[in-house]
Structure 1
Amino acid sequence: MLVLEFKTYGKPAQFRVVDEAIRVTQFIQNKSIRLWMDGQAKSWVELSRHCSLLAKEFNFANQLNSMARQAAAERAWASISKFYDHCKKKVPGKKGFPTFQKDCRSVEYKTSGWKLSDDRKSITFTDKCGIGRLRMKGTRDLHFYPIDQIKRVRLVRRADGYYVQFCVSVDRAENVESTGKAVGLDVGLQEFYTDSDGATVENPRFLRKAARVLKRSQRRVSKKVKGSSNRRKARQILGKRHLKISRQRKDHAIKLARCVVTSNDVVAYEDLRIKNMVRNHCLAKSINDASWYQFRCWVEYYGKVFSKITIAVPPAYTSQECSNCGVIVKKSLSQRTHSCQCGCEMDRDHNAARNILSRGLATVGHTGSLILDMGNAWGDGASTVVGKSLLQQALS
């Protein structure tokens, strides 16, 4: 599934109608969760049946497209099914019990309720809400994809305006030359990551650099009277500041992940539990600012696109174990140099990256010597997990 995003332009009255459609979506989603809590809906089919009943009971719900109502119920059922899966798998901690949504920012249509213009530069919503025609501006060409491949159309509200997203059913695959290289990545706070070759990438620290501007914008919001137009404008400015930071993080993760995957045939990285790490209140802000998980997601995505192998390695003792002799050398977080009795002395992140690479290659077992001779024949290029046969996962 490929998501294409365009900025939309229209009249203020049209965007007020979009806000009303978003509120209807939030109402249907919360109503679906309430039906499940009351025991009146125990499956997705029953929730879908209740969508038509809500349209008959509430006139504002009837104005929204029928498939858009179903999409709102699907969101509710997704949170319910996720809660069931966590209970079955006995995930430690909170299981994520479905809660009511307080700030919905999008409305989603399926294959009806919208129509693209012939030049693919505008979209018209044809349901009873009355959104009408919205102009679109973006860098992607929709002529490349047939209309029947567009499975979802989503209107998203952000701090700097409204966007329309097209979910296109297409399998993205690109061919690149095999490099015959394997790399291990150790992410950190001082450097964004250090690879097994000793190369480092600077941590951008987007949030830290913008902290002064964010504090000033937040003070302006707190000084305004609640409910006033000046407070609304100040909140919008603050939202734009945060939106810029999130876009900087995403752009940095995408470009860096693509560079890593295209320049190596095998990428091993730490299988970190970010949710547990941010419990340390001293490091939580820096960990969230680094955005390690987003970088990992894009590494796995480009691994599938370019048919490369990505391996998630358990991070236990990767910094303490010597990459040369395997002896455990205990050191604190402040100690940045790994020094072993065997004579091995290097940066601790470089040592950890070498351990991550060796553990990743060890999943192949006795065929580990063949991994660099397999060229670009990595099967489906799926992300693999340590503990299972790498050949069975990659070549199935």
Structure 2
Amino acid sequence: MIVYEFKLKGKEQQYQAVDDAIRTSQFIRNKCLRFWMDNKGINKYDLSAYTAVLAKEFPFANELNSTARQSSAERCWSGINRFFENCKKKIALKKGFPRFKKNQRSVEYKKSGWKLSEDRKRITFTDKKGIGSVKLVGTYDLHFYQVEQIQRVRLVKKADGYYCQFCIQVEVKQTLQPTGRAIGIDVGLNHFYTDSQGEKVDNPRFLRKSEKRLKKAQRQVSKKVKGSNNRKKAINRLGRTHLKVSRQRKDFAVKLARCVVMSNDIVAVEDLKVRNMVKNHHLAKSISDAAWSQFREWLEYFALKFGKIVVAVPTHFTSQNCSGCGEVVKKSLSIRTHVCKCGVVLDRDENAAINILIKALRLLGYVSNTVGHTEINACGETILYLNLAAAFKQDCSLKQESPSL
């Protein structure tokens, strides 16, 4: 499944119709949630059937395409199902009980309610909301795919305009020649990550670099009268600034993750609980700005696409253990150099990256638990390269996903 996004070009009345469709989708989603809360034992099929009842009861809901109403019910059930899954897993603290939406920004159609033009440059929405035909602006070419391959069409409202997303069912896997390389990655705040070969990638800090513009835009919002058009314009300028930061962060994560996966057959990362880490109010902004979770998601996506392996290992003692002898060398966060009595002197993050790689190789069965760190390092990078290359050539049964995922 791939997603192609185009910007919509239309008239002001069409944009207002899109807003109306989004509000209706939000209304149906909230109604389905209330129906589930008031009636025990409701399943997703009952919610889907309830959308037909809402269409008969509310004329504005009947104007929205039936598949779009069903998609709203599916969104509601997705939140409910996530809540049940968190309860089964016994996740600590809040379980994510579904809430009512207040500011939904998208509406989703399925197979009906829309039609592409012959040149694939325009899309027409055929329901009663009055969106009509709008122009698609983008660099993707939809001629490569059949209309039957398009599973979903989303209309998304962002700070800088309206967008149309096409969810296309297509095989995304590609075959690459094995590189025979394995790498461990330790993410951080000083550097975005340090790998097991000692290479470092600088932290771009997009949010920190844009703080001056964000603070200025926020001040302009606070100075305007609530409910005025000038305040709405100031909010839009603030939203566009935040949108630019998020796009910069995503672009960095995508390009870096693709490069890492294409250059290595095995990528080992830490299974970080970022949600818990941001509770530290001194580091929350820096951790959120680094976007470690987004980087890991793209690593896993490209691993599936190119047939590589991404392994998430536990974080315990990756920084404290010595990568040479395995002894515990306690050190505070202020100590950035790992010094062990066995003679190993490494950067703290590089030592952690090597430990992460060793843990991943153990999970995959390349290294037994009885083999010490000294023997692994004594083999050297060349022998490790040959062993990995031979394993891939023999088409050994490697796991495509981390055992911890």
Task: Calculate the TM-score normalised by the size of structure 1.
Answer: 0.95
Relative distance call for 1:378 and 1:252 in structure 2 (3 A) is farther
Q: What secondary structure, in the 3-state scheme, does the structure 2 residue paired with 1:332 have?
A: coil
* CA positional deviation for 1:343: 1.1
Relative distance call for 1:158 and 1:166 in structure 2 (3 A) is same
1:156 aligns to 2:149 (yes or no)? no
Q: What secondary structure, in the 3-state scheme, does the structure 1 residue paired with 2:402 have?
A: strand
Aligned residue pairs total: 387
The one-character-per-residue Cα deviations of 1:256-287 (angstroms, maximum 9, x if unpaired) are 00000000011000000000100100000000
The one-character-per-residue Cα deviations of 1:155-183 (angstroms, maximum 9, x if unpaired) are 00000000000001112011222111000
The one-character-per-residue Cα deviations of 1:58-94 (angstroms, maximum 9, x if unpaired) are 0000000000000001000100111111112211111
Contact 2:17 2:131 in 1 (8 A): yes
Q: What is the alpha-carbon distance in structure 1 between the residues aligned to residue 13 and residue 60 of structure 2? A: 17
Which residue is equivalent to 1:39?
39
Q: What secondary structure, in the 3-state scheme, does the structure 2 residue paired with 1:375 have?
A: helix
Contact 1:307 1:380 in 2 (8 A): no
Q: What secondary structure, in the 3-state scheme, does the structure 1 residue paired with 2:36 have?
A: helix
Relative distance call for 1:378 and 1:22 in structure 2 (3 A) is farther
The one-character-per-residue Cα deviations of 1:112-154 (angstroms, maximum 9, x if unpaired) are 0000000000100000111000100111110001000101000
Query: Considering only aligned residues, what root-mean-square deviation do their CA atoms show, in Å?
Result: 1.5
Q: What is the alpha-carbon distance in structure 2 between the residues aligned to residue 378 and residue 258 of structure 1? A: 24
Which residue is equivalent to 2:252?
252
* CA positional deviation for 1:346: 1.0
Q: What is the alpha-carbon distance in structure 1 between the residues aligned to residue 298 and residue 366 of structure 2? A: 30
* CA positional deviation for 1:365: 2.9
Which residue is equivalent to 1:210?
210
Q: After the TM superposition, which residues 1-396 of structure 1 pair with which residues of structure 2 at under 5 Å, given as runs?
A: 1-39=1-39, 42-365=42-365, 370-375=387-392, 377=395, 382-386=400-404
* CA positional deviation for 1:41: 6.4
Contact 1:65 1:113 in 2 (8 A): yes
Q: What is the alpha-carbon distance in structure 2 between the residues aligned to residue 143 and residue 332 of structure 1? A: 57
Which piece of structure 1 moves more, 142-151 or 86-95?
86-95
Which piece of structure 1 moves more, 374-383 or 300-309?
374-383
Relative distance call for 1:295 and 1:77 in structure 2 (3 A) is same
The one-character-per-residue Cα deviations of 1:8-40 (angstroms, maximum 9, x if unpaired) are 100001000100000000000000000001016
Could you list the runs of 5+ residues in structure 2 that have no partner in the other structure? 369-383
Which piece of structure 1 moves more, 39-48 or 110-119?
39-48
Which piece of structure 1 moves more, 358-367 or 105-114?
358-367
Contact 1:300 1:382 in 2 (8 A): no
Letter in 2 for 1:210: S
Letter in 2 for 1:244: K
Which piece of structure 1 moves more, 377-386 or 197-206?
377-386
Relative distance call for 1:193 and 1:136 in structure 2 (3 A) is same
Letter in 1 for 2:188: G
Contact 1:41 1:47 in 2 (8 A): no
Relative distance call for 1:65 and 1:350 in structure 2 (3 A) is same
Q: What is the alpha-carbon distance in structure 2 between the residues aligned to residue 346 and residue 263 of structure 1? A: 24
Which piece of structure 1 moves more, 241-250 or 377-386?
377-386
Q: What secondary structure, in the 3-state scheme, does the structure 1 residue paired with 2:343 have?
A: coil
Relative distance call for 1:350 and 1:20 in structure 2 (3 A) is same
Q: Which runs of 4+ in 1 moved over 2 A?
A: 364-372, 374-383
Contact 2:178 2:389 in 1 (8 A): no
Contact 1:35 1:41 in 2 (8 A): no
Q: What is the alpha-carbon distance in structure 2 between the residues aligned to residue 139 and residue 73 of structure 1? A: 32
Which piece of structure 1 moves more, 163-172 or 87-96?
87-96
Q: What is the alpha-carbon distance in structure 1 between the residues aligned to residue 403 and residue 291 of structure 2? A: 21
Q: What secondary structure, in the 3-state scheme, does the structure 1 residue paired with 2:221 have?
A: helix
Could you list the runs of 5+ residues in structure 1 that have no partner in the other structure? 389-396
Q: What is the alpha-carbon distance in structure 1 between the residues aligned to residue 12 and residue 206 of structure 2? A: 33
Q: What secondary structure, in the 3-state scheme, does the structure 2 residue paired with 1:374 have?
A: helix
Contact 1:72 1:108 in 2 (8 A): yes
Contact 2:322 2:329 in 1 (8 A): yes
Contact 2:67 2:112 in 1 (8 A): yes
Q: What secondary structure, in the 3-state scheme, does the structure 1 residue paired with 2:102 have?
A: coil
Letter in 2 for 1:145: Y
Q: What secondary structure, in the 3-state scheme, does the structure 2 residue paired with 1:346 have?
A: strand
Relative distance call for 1:223 and 1:381 in structure 2 (3 A) is farther
Relative distance call for 1:185 and 1:367 in structure 2 (3 A) is closer
Q: What is the alpha-carbon distance in structure 2 between the residues aligned to residue 260 and residue 381 of structure 1? A: 19
Contact 1:51 1:73 in 2 (8 A): yes
Q: What secondary structure, in the 3-state scheme, does the structure 1 residue paired with 2:392 have?
A: coil
Relative distance call for 1:41 and 1:161 in structure 2 (3 A) is farther
Relative distance call for 1:367 and 1:197 in structure 2 (3 A) is closer
